[in-house]
Chain A
Amino acid sequence: MKSRHTLALQLMFVIGVLVTALWLILASWLLYGVRNEVRNTLDDRLAASAQMVASLMRRQQLSATTVTEIIDHASESTPEYPSMRACRVSDLRGEVLALSKGAPQGVLESVLADGYVNRAFDGEVWRVYSLTVDTLRITTADRVSTRESLLTSVVLAAALPFGLALAGTLILLWFGIRWGLKPLQQLSYSVATRDLHDSAPLEWAGGPAEVKPLVDEINRLLLRVQQAVLRERRFTGDAAHELRTPLTAIKTQLQVARITRGTSAQHALHQAEQGVERLQSMLDQLLLLARLEGNAAFEDAAITTADEIGSMALSEVISKAEHKNVRLAYQIGCAEPIATPGALAVAALRNLLDNAIKASPPASQVSVVSICEHGFCTWVIRDQGQGVAEEQLQQVVNRFVHFDMAGSGLGLAIVQTIVNRFGGSLELANIAPQGFEARLTLPLLTD
């Protein structure tokens, strides 16, 4: 996992580039200034030399030979400060009065205007200064290459500490970033080495406040994941229990049938068959629930009306009701099509009717009334049973919660899932003086 260092590298890159760019701009600005300053200083020296020669010649009436000696001396005496390399003194007609040793004639002669000019001669560039005083023209010149090497040594002397300081800044920056990101690294380490069942929240007591919201969110997520894991574990435990119980019944009864004879064996086989039926209905319910939750498509081309759904659901439970001597009363009242796939609407209504019949005492009545209004169809199913304890009303829609042995505990969970998915509702309530009422509401099909 290299990505742990990405933030540090990214910060280092951005800040490093910005700092370096800033330093380089500053450096070139300084360089530019120094360069100009050095040039001006050297130019001033060139001019000062010319003026010195001029004043010497004028005030003290020195001979040209003496002047030549002086300018030779001046140009040679300080070779490490080679500001002036050549000098010529002439009259206005161009007659040379004095010329420094080794001075290039071509550079110094025939300069007419006073001031600075660059001249190329013999493959070298010279900086030339001319000054006219009375009848004398004094011309001085420097090699530009000499000037440049001086400039370069000045720049180099300044650049070394500058570069060291930049490198030092970048190194300090890197350590600073690493130090600043240390809490994050520790956090990621503690997340990476975390035990799957550890429900303790992540610690962020001393860390930067900017990251606190993230840590809080992670902690909230951890809590939700823990709860989901617990729920899943409970669900698989419940599912195992509910599937194994009929399986146990079948296995045990079959073994009894093998070791007994006659009516006992017949009874055991009959019981085993009942176990198979229970297992089958449990599996059907579980698969339906899984399909509902898996968002599987329910292909149901035929549009089904509320009354058709009612009669289909009733036809599935009528034998159970007769078996228990429970009268089913269905009041037709709605021929409008339902938006929910017919098979699911029938399953929901059938599950509610199943529960009502199971809860009914013998020789009682289960009534179903369908009401269509405001774009919804509501089936009201009432039985005359004992109802459900108020404190258990909230739990009955949970999976595997059941109050009788034969139930899977999935019936109401399926109804709840169907109404949730198709925009309906399920309301359960005890009714006075005795009985239970379930209201199943599903949206009508609108054009």
Chain B
Amino acid sequence: MYVLIVEDDDLVGDGIKAGLEALGFTTDWVRTSAAADTAVATVTHDAVVLDLGLPDMDGLKLLSRWRAQGRNLPVIILTARDAVPERVAGLQAGADDYLTKPFDLSELEARLHSLIRRAHGRATNTIRYGQFIFDPVKQQVMVNNQPVVLTRRELTLLQALLLHPGRILAPGQLQDQLYGWSDGVESNAVAVHVHNLRRKLGEESIETVRGVGYRIAGLTQ
């Protein structure tokens, strides 16, 4: 799952990034609302972790603007101020959830999973599609009720495809999901991981749409 972190504090941002990545998320970390704006306009994230005290623009204003622009991606706000009016203002500005600093990484993780799940209209964290059962919390995948061992990158790639069943994802989009935005990686990295996934899950598990990208196939055998 691909999360954008908007946090101006070096130590906190570094911690959230390292923590979420250790928990299987792919992350982008920006320090200003201007950079956050650019990131949201360029890349499709599954969720945003938004700190409210940003140096260039208040996080709430940024959030209101996104909502006014019709950006409906799940946003969880982080605030060091615990006054009730602040939280109410956050939720009214369009936040889906909030966490008061300091928080537990595990709580942030759980809330992100739940936000992403709700955004995709699922009642449980587990993603079921065709013969696939994917548990993003445990980072486990079952095919025909048999566990399959995948690497972290492969899991991330499969999860990205499973989150958008029926949609064709461009290699660039998948690359963002794997490595985060603007991480310099070899351009055939996605192709290599798709190849490995096909090897482990079956050739027909991922469909290639020529010149456009990849799509998860139902594995309806």
Contact = CB atoms under 8 A, between A and B. Distances in A.
Interface of A: 237, 240-242, 244-253, 255-256, 259-260, 264, 267-268, 271, 274-275, 278, 403, 405-406
Nearest to B19: A256
B14 A253 contact: yes
20 contacts: A237-B83, A241-B80, A242-B80, A244-B101, A245-B9, A245-B101, A246-B11, A247-B101, A247-B102, A249-B12, A249-B14, A250-B11, A251-B102, A251-B103, A251-B104, A252-B16, A259-B22, A264-B18, A267-B18, A405-B9
A272 B16 CA distance: 12
B15 interface: yes
Contacts of A240: 80-82
B9 A255 contact: no
B23 interface: yes
A256 B12 contact: no
A265 to B, nearest CB: 9
B68 to A, nearest CB: 27
Nearest to B106: A255
B105 A252 contact: yes
Contacts of B82: 240
A264 B10 contact: no
Contacts of A251: 102-104
Given A247-B101, A268-B18, 10 more contacts: A242-B80, A244-B80, A248-B80, A248-B103, A249-B14, A250-B11, A255-B106, A256-B18, A256-B105, A271-B14
B8 interface: yes
Nearest to A267: B18
B104 A255 contact: yes
**Chain B CB within 10 Å, residue with most, of A246, A249, A259:** A249
B102 A252 contact: yes
Contacts of A267: 18
B94 interface: no
Pick the 3 closest A-B CB pairs, nearest first. A252-B15, A249-B11, A244-B80
Nearest to B17: A256
Interface in B135-167: none
Nearest to A251: B102
B87 to A, nearest CB: 13
A246 B10 CA distance: 10
A50 to B, nearest CB: 105
B59 interface: no
Contacts of B11: 246, 249-250, 253, 271, 274-275, 278
B12 A252 contact: yes
A251 B55 CA distance: 23
A260 B22 contact: yes
Contacts of A247: 101-102
Nearest to B101: A248
A202 B24 CA distance: 61
Nearest to B100: A244
A403 B56 CA distance: 11
Interface string B38-59: 0000000000000001010000
A4 B14 CA distance: 63
Contacts of A268: 15, 18
A245 B12 contact: yes
Q: Please indicate which of the listed interface residues B15, B53, B83, B103 has the most CB atoms of chain A within 10 Å of its own CB.
A: B15
Contacts of A405: 8-10
A246 B12 CA distance: 7
B81 A237 contact: yes
Residue of A248, A251, A260, A268 ringed by the most chain B CB atoms within 10 A: A248
A253 B14 CA distance: 8
Contacts of A256: 15, 18-19, 22, 105
A241 B18 contact: no
Contacts of A271: 11, 14-15
A389 to B, nearest CB: 13
A274 B13 CA distance: 13
A246 B9 CA distance: 9
Contacts of A241: 53, 80-81
Contacts of A403: 55
- Most central of B18, B53, B78, B106 by chain A CB within 10 Å: B18
Contacts of B78: 248
A248 B22 contact: no
B105 A244 contact: no
Interface in B46-93: 53, 55, 78, 80-83
B206 to A, nearest CB: 30
Interface in B116-141: none
A256 B16 CA distance: 8
Interface string B155-198: 00000000000000000000000000000000000000000000
Nearest to B52: A241
A253 B15 CA distance: 5
A247 to B, nearest CB: 5
A278 B8 CA distance: 15
B82 to A, nearest CB: 7
Nearest to A403: B55
B101 A259 contact: no
A249 B9 contact: yes
Contacts of A278: 11
Nearest to B86: A237
A241 B14 CA distance: 18
B105 A255 contact: yes
A259 B8 CA distance: 24
Contacts of B102: 244, 247-248, 250-252
